[in-house]
Structure 1
Amino acid sequence: MKKRWIYGLIVLLSITSIGLAIDWWTALPEGEQATYVGRQTCFQCHQKEAELWKGSDHDLAMNPATPEFVLGDFNDTKLEHFGITSTMTRENDKFYVTTQGPDGKTARFEAKYVIGVRPLQQYLAELDRGKIQVLPVTWDTKQKRWYYASPDEPFGPGDPLHWTGSAQNWNHMCAECHTTNWSKNYDIATDTHHFSFSEMRVSCEACHGPGSIHVKLAESKSLFWDRRYGYGLAKLKGKDATAQLESCAPCHSHRRHVAPGHTPLDRFHDHYALSLLEDHLYHPDGQIDEEVYVFGSFTQSKMYRKGVRCTDCHDPHSTRLKFQGNKLCTQCHLEAKYDVPGHHHHKVGSTGASCVECHMPSKTYMVVDPRRDHSLRIPRPDLTVKLGTPNACNQCHTKPDETPEWAAKSIEKWYGPKRRDDPHYGEILAAGRTGSPDAERALIKLTRNKEVGPVVRATAVSILATRYQTQESRAVVEKALKSKEEIVRLAALRGFDGWTPRSEKEANEIGKLLAKGLTDSSRGVRTEVARILSSLPILPDTKENKQALKDALEEYKTGLLTDGDQSGSHMSLGILYANQGDMKQAEQEFRTAIKLSPAVAGPRSNLAQLLEQLGKTHEVKKLRTEEAELLARDAKLLPENALLQYRLGLLYYLLGREDEAVNALTKACHLEPQSADFRLMLTLLYEKQEKWKLALESVDALIRLQPENPTFRQILLNLQQKANPKDK
């Protein structure tokens, strides 16, 4: 009887094991495509999370302009701004703004949608052909007042920065991050948007990915999740923080598009390219300057390198901080060591004793919106003295005698003069941007430094690639093409953009080197390699490489057409087609670029150059004259931008306005004295004008920049012979 019972148990366990194995093995078919099911489906099972999400910044990211959501005062209120008066009114449940329209005349526009809830709310009007624009007036939800988010004098109609222009276009600038499952659906032929989205909000599936597979598995009778698809959503809670960070990054980063259709199930760099620590976005030491939206800053931090993720500090559903005050930091950092006067040297409970005030100083954007720097850095007033960067200490200490020097001495008194990270990478990057020869070794060392974030290493590689032409720097750049980090590989490719091979051997070597990137695991790298190869007088040498180039170029075109409503996309397409010898298509793309943004500089220069090559010269001077006006406008707005001055100087030269060209090129050389390209152009222009003394002085400066460059030495010999013909 006992044996029979044991045999029965064995049989039962065997059958159960077989059944469990079959249950586990049974899976959804390969290639199952997840679709969006909507938040109400999610709420059925996840009610706690739903309650936290309701009323959050994500819930209120965008909504229809109804009395439930409109916070602004539309009771016939007015706001005057540089001579333009906007009037906000309400009729029943509809809201209107009467202001300057796209034709310069005053007109009434219905506010169809609202964006945001705190500390400001913006309003959207729908214009013709599906274009939705951000109205010029903004409601300050804290001070209960109307104001202009762009406080400077507004640009007129037709300018990209006017509220009806491309820079204020919701379809391109806002929609992707204020809706769920966004698709632009722009039709180039009719200049019309046929946009779509699943939900008007940042809803569940914006972060977790489309939920149909998850729902199907949850409703099945299986005891297991699927062996192929897991639980059918992005794995945001895994040991590796990457999935969660890259789920948040598309909307919380300064980046450009690589390809459409990103979901949280995808890798970030297959769809976006993160901006580096460029000087127009960040301060020299990597602190935030322009609106860079957190992720690029966070990747600089030690927290990022240690695996900290967004939800360690923020509740993912309410979006609120998980703890108030210093408890947010002392959940990880020892309170007895760090939350004491011996560490922060300020009165307990004061602003100076707050972790975030010292390590995450804020900058205010859009007049009323303070945002914290997520690079989580140690206060460095000494860098303010050296580089002119901001520092946390002097945000509070503003008395006349509380100078950055005073703050730096206090820091040194408290913590000592030595720091592990000196010289700070900000000093190295700042010196590198000027092309200082002394910075090269430090930059090379920085590219190997694992104690800084990948965006810092990538920025160092980018500077070496574009500012230094030594064999040692070139070797570092070529090695960076094999980096494990996509952002570093992308930065290294900058060294080959516009590169001209000096010999057939070099062309073949570089061609083979770059061709490896055509099958890179990252779409961002593949498409950038393809773009660069399209402009070089070399092609991959095998059938497989040629096919890979063709495939990557198609990916590149698809990515550009994601933003087919933008002038820049058609500029890039025009350049690509010109590189491929399709001049007719290139001309069409350049003309489309001009049509989409008539007030943007750039396309006219490319079109003029193309027409000149084709012998169609009747339109060239008109295009270049118009372009010169636009560039002169931009150079006036950005007087410290050396590249604008250089481009303006080249254009004046082509128009025969040589004195104006000299002035612009001289400014470019003054603003960026380490640029050999700028100095070379000025030297050649002096030569053309037969201003031998100035030309010789300029070529001497050129040789000091690159002493070993044989071309520059030959220019010197030629100038000496022309300046002193009797010495021949």
Structure 2
Amino acid sequence: LLPAIVRATALSLLRNYPDNKTTDTFTAALQDDDALIRYTAIRSLENLDQETKLQLIGPKLYDRVLAVRMEAALALSSLPISALRPDDLQQFKAGLAEYKAAMRYNADFAPQRYNLGNLAAAIGESEEAINYYLQSIGIDDQFYPAKVNLAMQYNQLGKNEQAETLLRQVVDDNPDLFEVAYSLGLLLAEQENYSEAATFLGKAADGMPQYSRARYNQALALLKLKRWQDGELALLKTLEVEPDNREYFMTLANLYLNFKQTERARRLAEQILQKEPGQQDAQELLRMLNQKK
């Protein structure tokens, strides 16, 4: 592998470990002599807050390399137009035009139509985004990213039946896409189909054991179904992953207290404090229970 490709790959992997140090690394990479490194750095900084993104990525709208300029424009496309400096606005629009032209050049391929759909979605043009996603699916019915993003657009427009159909297709065809199973579970819960929601959220939680939010949402669906014991077990699993999570702790503690299971609530608080001695909610619950003795 070429050194630049190795370095760019390493930068991409750092995105999985977001902290101040990695942000500093990406920021420094924006000034690298190699365009691939600058391009990768921009992609790695897309989730920053608005002000920081403008400060760091805005200057890349003027980069000497087309791919870097296009990526900078794409990264800034999710921001309100009013957030851009007037001096940058023309260059931003030029970057988007260059990006669209590049995607249309190879528009016979599903990913290019999909990318145009993503751009349209980012700048708030929902109908155009939907059209591009449908075109992408028309070219390649197995290109699931277009189906997932089309489902997200339908959901935002309140067309949940169409969104559900698409997500079910993707999950059926790709059983290991646990993130999509999670999205489907959330959608079903939104529609108050808690039974199926619990099933898909559980599938997602099993496939992503360290993503405790999936298990927590499964627990909420189970509690809606009054499956108290199953809900309790799911909540206990969330606390195994994140013992300091206040929301998870309070949900389980309130479940115990609602059923007057004070000893279980006490054991829960004690167990959490063994793992996280500074957990204030557990301290408060234990103090309250001791006062009632």
1:495 and 1:721 mapped to 2: Cα distance?
A: 39
Candidates 627, 644, 650, aligned match of 2:170: 627
Q: 1:716 to 1:619 in 2, by over 3 A?
A: closer
Count of matched residue positions in the alignment of Structure 1 and Structure 2: 246
Superposition pairs of residues 503-582 of structure 1, within 5 angstroms: 507-536=50-79, 541-582=84-125
**3-state DSSP class of the match of 1:569?**
helix
Q: 1:624 to 1:458 in 2, by over 3 A?
A: closer
Contact 1:490/1:525 (<8 A) preserved: yes
Amino acid corresponding to residue 484 of structure 1 in structure 2:
D
Aligned to 1:490: 39
Contact 1:683/1:699 (<8 A) preserved: no
**3-state DSSP class of the match of 1:467?**
coil
**3-state DSSP class of the match of 1:689?**
helix
Superposition pairs of residues 161-180 of structure 1, within 5 angstroms: none
Kindly provide the CA deviation profile for residues 400-434 of structure 1, in whole angstroms up to 9, marking residues without a partner as x: xxxxxxxxxxxxxxxxxxxxxxxxxxxxxxxxxxx
Residue 617 of structure 1: how far off its partner (Å) = 4.1
**3-state DSSP class of the match of 1:546?**
helix
Amino acid corresponding to residue 36 of structure 2 in structure 1:
I
Superposition pairs of residues 266-345 of structure 1, within 5 angstroms: 297=1, 299=2
Contact 2:8/2:40 (<8 A) preserved: yes
Alignment partner of 1:651 is 2:184: yes
Contact 2:181/2:203 (<8 A) preserved: no
Kindly provide the CA deviation profile for residues 47-86 of structure 1, in whole angstroms up to 9, marking residues without a partner as x: xxxxxxxxxxxxxxxxxxxxxxxxxxxxxxxxxxxxxxxx
2:5 and 2:160 mapped to 1: Cα distance?
A: 45
% identical equivalent positions: 22
Superposition pairs of residues 47-126 of structure 1, within 5 angstroms: none
**3-state DSSP class of the match of 1:599?**
coil
1:491 and 1:463 mapped to 2: Cα distance?
A: 11
Aligned to 2:20: 471
Residue 618 of structure 1: how far off its partner (Å) = 4.8
Aligned to 2:217: 684
Superposition pairs of residues 373-384 of structure 1, within 5 angstroms: none
Q: 1:457 to 1:604 in 2, by over 3 A?
A: closer
Aligned to 2:268: none
Query: 5+ unaligned residues in a row in structure 2: which ranges?
Result: 224-230, 259-284, 289-293
Alignment partner of 1:602 is 2:142: no
Question: TM-score, normalization: structure 1?
Answer: 0.32
Residue 604 of structure 1: how far off its partner (Å) = 2.4
2:33 and 2:82 mapped to 1: Cα distance?
A: 25
Residue 584 of structure 1: how far off its partner (Å) = 1.9
Residue 519 of structure 1: how far off its partner (Å) = 0.9
Q: 1:721 to 1:548 in 2, by over 3 A?
A: farther
Using CA pairs under 8 Å that are at least 6 residues apart, name the structure with larger relative contact order, 1 or 2.
1
Amino acid corresponding to residue 477 of structure 1 in structure 2:
F
Kindly provide the CA deviation profile for residues 312-350 of structure 1, in whole angstroms up to 9, marking residues without a partner as x: xxxxxxxxxxxxxxxxxxxxxxxxxxxxxxxxxxxxxxx
Aligned to 1:42: none
2:158 and 2:183 mapped to 1: Cα distance?
A: 20
Residue 653 of structure 1: how far off its partner (Å) = 4.2
Aligned to 2:154: 611
Q: 1:724 to 1:522 in 2, by over 3 A?
A: farther
1:725 and 1:478 mapped to 2: Cα distance?
A: 49
Question: TM-score, normalization: structure 2?
Answer: 0.73
- Structure 1 residue ranges, 4+ long, deviating more than 6 angstroms after superposition: none
1:592 and 1:653 mapped to 2: Cα distance?
A: 26
Residue 565 of structure 1: how far off its partner (Å) = 1.0
Query: Over aligned residues, Cα RMSD in angstroms?
Result: 2.6
Amino acid corresponding to residue 212 of structure 2 in structure 1:
R
Residue 717 of structure 1: how far off its partner (Å) = 4.3
Query: 5+ unaligned residues in a row in structure 1: which ranges?
Result: 1-296, 300-452, 502-506, 636-643, 704-711
1:563 and 1:699 mapped to 2: Cα distance?
A: 48
